[in-house]
Structure 1
């Protein structure tokens, strides 16, 4: 990640590629030696080549779903087969989009690759994504499909009772579609996919990540979609199944802590470097390099659990992007999840590196 001072020097170079160090120093009001130091650092980070040729700033590329979310929260215990009084809200969502917004709020340059319908929901999704700081140059709209839509019903405790999704549009996100975004993949420090996209596309992204020596991380999304990953996990760097998704991937029932450990080992044996099994308020089980252990969640006042998994995933990717060790990355993700569940919004506006560091410090 480049510093603010390095970014200002980089902006001067982009504006005038033939400017000398003295000219840049004069423009920014800093010393020539400081400019030389920043340029040296930018070269070491791979942002600049010799001759001040600018490489594209490393980014995280997220390939996945962007949906229009409809969320209902019942005022009391949900009673089936009848109308339940409650509150209904509308917001942008989708696993891929949520992960991208979390990353953007954490200060990471994030590109989203997705499809929306040529409709009012699609327009709203793209405008809100751009407003959140997400690069949407890899997004497109199509007229023959409606935008992805997700509807969830939560109980008064904030836990989901039922959800329905219309994700037909993401069948159009074929390998051919993603291939036209190759430049974005080549500039990525981490490539992320959710399983709303076709399995052929996930396999293609995995092969590209391998060719580019770039970590490839998958969010399984749901039990039926996680099942599609079986036989395709070899070469995945990190995956974050919940208990039910882990049962499908490991092909076993999980009824105890020992079962959680066995499931993680089974998933890792299929070629995954880092397995993070999410366990709700209990935290996660992390397995990597032949070692495993439980990591507790950070205690907080739970308002709504929607989006917690997306925030956890984004926080772990933030750590990977910044070169943290995997345990610190997971703890960072747990802090992001804690901030998210304490908000009624799917992506908390409180999310920032400074605030997350405070949460982590308090949690320790």
Structure 2
């Protein structure tokens, strides 16, 4: 693929194995449902949504030289995603994520992302070898960064000249890894996308609403931040200026990937020239449509 990417999506690209049921579940439940295998991972979910909004994303990740990896790359290319810059590993398997979702939400999930962790900064080679930039002439476009990368790699990125000129958008980390984003909290061009729980973990406190969480993160040194709170009001803030909007009410049928959809829709909206309130509203609409099951997986 020779088309110049509009944005780099750096991080997890793997197979999502998702079991969904319309029943409520608890520990030990055994219920009927559907099991699907689809391309997933934070970087992949963002890239797929960006593509639907008309952007040309490129993936920077690690994919194993195994059958699962070949199939994942083929599926990505069929969707029009740029795979020219990803790292293929001879000794690391393709990663996989497994989750169970029920009528009462996400029941459990396991992320087998050991290959991404083991690959480390090898996934960034295209940013330093001249294909996408060098330390002396760094990439100057949009980057969507997976907040679930390792502490070491996030610290490298925070201080790296390879990211000095980029418009860096940091994807939601899982709550168990939210504190990894502290390495990027003071980055001068980073926009953090977090939910209310993750914001509380970063600030070591509890927030009742997204606006107060947004304000606190800005006071802690964040350049720009967006805080979501499920079906309640979300907020976006920069330079001490916080705006708030409410998502539309919908029937929730799925949750995995909702935060990634919100982030991608917000990036695409700003790329297309929408102002801050309009971009926030459009992102909330896109996320609500996604969780309602009205858009393709």
Counterpart of 2:63?
116
Aligned pairs (5 A) from 1:141-152: 141-152=88-99
How far residue 135 of structure 1 moved from its aligned partner, in angstroms, is 0.5
Structure 2 unaligned residues grouped into runs of 5+: none
Using the size of structure 2 for normalisation, the TM-score is: 0.87
Distance 1:199 1:92 in 2: 25
Instruction: Give the ranges of 4+ consecutive aligned residues of structure 1 lying more than 4 Å apart after TM superposition.
Output: 185-188
Question: How many Å separate the matches in 2 of 1:210 and 1:187?
Answer: 7
Let me know the Cα RMSD of the aligned residues.
2.4
Residues 104, 123 of structure 1: CA spacing in aligned structure 2 closer, same or farther, 3 A cutoff?
A: same
- Indicate the residue corresponding to 2:147 in structure 1: 195
Work out which structure has the larger RCO, using CA pairs closer than 8 Å and 6 or more positions apart in sequence: 2
Q: 2:201 is matched with which residue: 224, 242, 248?
A: 248
C-alpha distance in structure 2 between counterparts of 1:169 and 1:194, whole Å: 15
1:229 aligns with 2:176: no
Q: What is the rounded CA distance, in whole Å, between the counterparts of 1:192 and 1:155 in structure 2?
A: 29
Q: Which residue of 2 aligns with 1:21?
A: none
Partners of 2:278 and 2:5 in 1: CA distance: 21
Which structure is higher in helix share? 1
For residues 87 and 111 of structure 1, what CA distance do their matches in structure 2 show?
31
- TM-score after normalising by structure 1: 0.72
Q: Which residue of 1 aligns with 2:121?
A: 175
Superposed CA deviations along residues 235-267 of structure 1, whole A, max 9, x for unmatched, are: 24311111211111111112x23xx43332221
Show the counterpart of 1:128. 75
Which residue among 83, 89, 98 is the counterpart of 2:30? 83
Instruction: Show the counterpart of 2:286.
Output: 336
Work out the number of aligned pairs and report it: 288
Unaligned runs of 5+ in 1: 1-13, 15-55, 351-364
Distance in 1 (CA, whole Å) between partners of 2:172 and 2:249 is 25
Matched, 1:107 2:60: no
- Structure label with greater radius of gyration: 1
Matching residue within 128, 132, 136 for 1:184? 132
